[in-house]
């Protein structure tokens, strides 16, 4: 929790005033038993009604002031806690976006979502309860103990002994529950993963009639999570009855020995009443403290998970702003090798090629041969293990990340659209893109024919993930999004698989005519799609099995010949 205190720097006033007003409430609360003691000894015992009324008014004033202080503290606590939570989520989201694909793969999307939502909420609640109770509870414990000692030292030993027993019980329960709460958060990660997979793959699940199996899997994980929560709850629940038992035994001991001392005249009836009130205050605050320990335990385990993300630094360093030399080759791979973190073998080995401005590179190969891995290195989704990649004569590691990726129009293998309008999706690469530029990109991507028939054209609504569009429509809009503004480099990561042969052919012709100044890198499983490329790389298990034009590869590369013949015969 202490590592996250930097997010409280804008709430120093609330962090000071909140506990201060809670402290005032606690002081007034400690004064009440003294006033009551005076009322009994000097008013009720002597039947002094004016004095009783006077003390009653003072008690009402103390109560009203205490309520006002408590409400003021609640206001400052809420303002501080929710402001802290907002800044924490913003910083966490920004940090996650700075991580490379390697770090995101390490945590997993579902775990990061849980840390962004559930964990931050628990830490936020911990801050809220800290401001409201962390000062009040210790002060009342110390204050009630000191006040009881001022009344009678011997009887206060019972209070001190009961308090020490409670502290020991709280420490023991916290030690037991902290690892339990960490396991609960991991269980939430797993449940979030299963839910996300089920929702993303709902059509596949229904197509294979696997609803029951997926439901059973979800229920099993739910039961495991419930079992873990119940186990932690059982241990945590021991605190309240244990507190009541210890403090009630202490209260009984006070009544017994206090009665003896009152009969002997060592303490008055009013002092005895005040002593019992301090004992009750101690009882209530220790019960609150036991619940507070549970909240802090959960907040502490969540804070550790959040700090784990913050402590994970991006493995890819951002470069500086450099000016590209457009006269140099657009893309150049120099003996590039790459291995995924934790993998035993390279996914790519010794890849070299040069692509001039305006040229087209085709990449083909069997599934798992490293085609997508190769193009993912260009925008620095991952960094190369060996060798270097140059864009317009400059190593990509020297570029500012934003500047590098602004030169690249990237079309992913899976068409991804965001909720909003078609216009909103088309402005991702260039927020200042005009309608003419958007329409031009849609025409190139062979998407304008169906977009213009929609009721609102480019202002038509796109649902989450583009679910209200067909697969081919999503793919064509995704392609168009990358083409807005004619970026210097365009990458197609097998992003034409949902297109029919006619649309594929028309798209390739449009790209050649409309993007003549752009360098195009195209992955495809269809040899016919790549046959007119200036250069084709055939990948086989991460190694270049051949390079050249379509005609050259038919003569020199056995793997390419087999792929082409299998698709034409």
Residue 39 to residues 29, 59, 273, 274, 334: CA-CA distances in angstroms? 16, 10, 11, 11, 92
Q: Given pLDDT bands bounded at 50, 70 and 90, which one contains residue 34?
A: confident
Question: Stretch 134-157: mean pLDDT, rounded?
Answer: 79
Task: Quote the CA–CA distance of 197 and 52 in Å, as a whole number.
Answer: 70
pLDDT digits (tens, 9 = 90+) for 65-80: 888 998 999 899 999 9
Q: What domains does the chain contain, in order, with CATH numbers?
A: 2-310 (1.20.1560.10), 331-568 (3.40.50.300)
Tokens 């190369």 found at:
384
CB atoms within 10 A of CB 118: 17
Q: Given pLDDT bands bounded at 50, 70 and 90, which one contains residue 302?
A: confident
pLDDT digits (tens, 9 = 90+) for 335-382: 999 998 878 888 999 999 999 988 999 999 888 888 989 999 999 888
Task: Quote the CA–CA distance of 34 and 40 in Å, as a whole number.
Answer: 10
pLDDT digits (tens, 9 = 90+) for 234-270: 877 777 777 778 777 877 887 787 777 777 777 777 7
Tokens 């083409």 found at:
483
**Secondary structure (3-state) at 219:** helix
CB atoms within 10 A of CB 223: 10
Q: Given pLDDT bands bounded at 50, 70 and 90, which one contains residue 498?
A: low
157, 445, 166, 177: which is closest to 286 by C-alpha? Answer: 166
Residue 360, φ and ψ in degrees, nearest 5: -120, 130
pLDDT digits (tens, 9 = 90+) for 97-144: 888 888 888 888 878 888 888 889 989 998 888 888 877 878 888 888
Is the model's pLDDT at 383 over the cut of 80? yes
pLDDT digits (tens, 9 = 90+) for 405-455: 888 999 888 888 888 899 998 988 888 888 898 999 999 888 898 898 888
Q: Pick the residue with more confidence: 526 or 388?
A: 388
Mean pLDDT, the chain, integer: 84
């Amino acid at each position: 929790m202490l590592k996250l205190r930097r997010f409280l720097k804008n709430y120093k006033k609330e962090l000071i005033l909140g506990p201060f007003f809670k402290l005032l409430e606690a002081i007034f609360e400690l004064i009440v038993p003294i006033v009551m003691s005076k009322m009994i000894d000097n008013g009720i015992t002597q039947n002094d009604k004016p004095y009783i009324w006077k003390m009653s008014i003072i008690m009402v004033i103390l109560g009203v002031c205490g309520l006002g202080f408590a409400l003021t503290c609640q206001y400052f606590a809420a303002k501080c806690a929710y402001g802290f939570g907002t800044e924490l989520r913003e910083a966490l989201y920004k940090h996650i976006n700075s991580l490379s694909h390697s770090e995101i793969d390490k945590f997993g999307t579902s775990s990061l979502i849980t840390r962004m939502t559930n964990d931050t909420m628990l830490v936020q609640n911990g801050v809220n309860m800290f401001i409201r109770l962390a000062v009040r509870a210790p002060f009342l414990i110390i204050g009630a103990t000191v006040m009881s000692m001022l009344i009678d030292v011997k009887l206060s030993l019972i209070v001190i002994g009961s308090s020490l027993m409670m502290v020991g019980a709280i420490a023991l329960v916290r030690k037991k529950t902290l690892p339990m709460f960490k396991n609960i958060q991991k269980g939430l990660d797993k449940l979030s993963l299963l839910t996300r997979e089920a929702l993303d793959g709902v059509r596949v699940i229904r197509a294979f009639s696997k609803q029951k199996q997926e439901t059973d899997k979800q229920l099993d994980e739910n039961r495991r999570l419930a079992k873990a929560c119940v186990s932690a709850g059982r241990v945590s629940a021991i605190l309240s009855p244990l507190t009541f038992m210890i403090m009630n035994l202490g209260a009984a001991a006070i009544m017994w020995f206090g009665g003896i001392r009152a009969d002997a005249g060592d303490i008055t009836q009013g002092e005895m009443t005040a002593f019992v009130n301090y004992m009750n205050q101690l009882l209530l605050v220790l019960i609150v403290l036991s619940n507070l320990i549970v909240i802090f335990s959960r907040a502490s385990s969540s804070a550790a998970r959040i700090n784990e993300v913050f402590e994970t630094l991006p493995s890819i360093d951002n470069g500086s702003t450099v000016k590209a030399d457009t006269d140099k080759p657009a893309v150049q791979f120099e003996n590039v090798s790459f291995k995924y973190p934790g993998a035993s073998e390279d996914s790519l080995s010794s890849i070299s090629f040069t692509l001039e401005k305006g040229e087209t590179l085709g990449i083909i190969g069997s599934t798992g041969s490293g085609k997508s891995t190769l193009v993912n290195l260009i925008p620095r989704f991952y960094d190369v293990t060996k060798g270097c990649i140059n864009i317009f004569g400059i190593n990509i590691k020297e570029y500012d990340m934003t500047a590098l990726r602004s030169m690249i129009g990237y079309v992913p293998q899976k068409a991804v659209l965001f909720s909003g309008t078609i216009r909103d999706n088309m402005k991702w690469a260039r927020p200042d893109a005009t309608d003419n530029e958007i329409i031009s990109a849609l025409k190139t991507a062979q998407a304008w024919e169906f977009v213009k028939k929609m009721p609102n054209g480019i202002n038509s609504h796109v649902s989450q993930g583009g679910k209200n569009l067909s697969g081919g429509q999503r793919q064509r809009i995704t392609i168009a999004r990358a083409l807005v503004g004619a970026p210097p480099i365009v990458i197609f990561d097998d992003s034409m698989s949902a297109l029919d042969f006619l649309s594929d052919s028309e798209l390739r012709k449009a790209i050649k005519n409309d993007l003549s100044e752009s360098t195009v890198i195209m992955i495809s499983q269809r040899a016919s799609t790549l046959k007119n490329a200036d250069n084709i790389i055939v990948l086989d298990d991460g190694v270049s099995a051949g390079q050249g034009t379509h005609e050259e590869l038919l003569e020199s590369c056995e793997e390419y010949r087999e792929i082409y013949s299998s698709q034409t015969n």
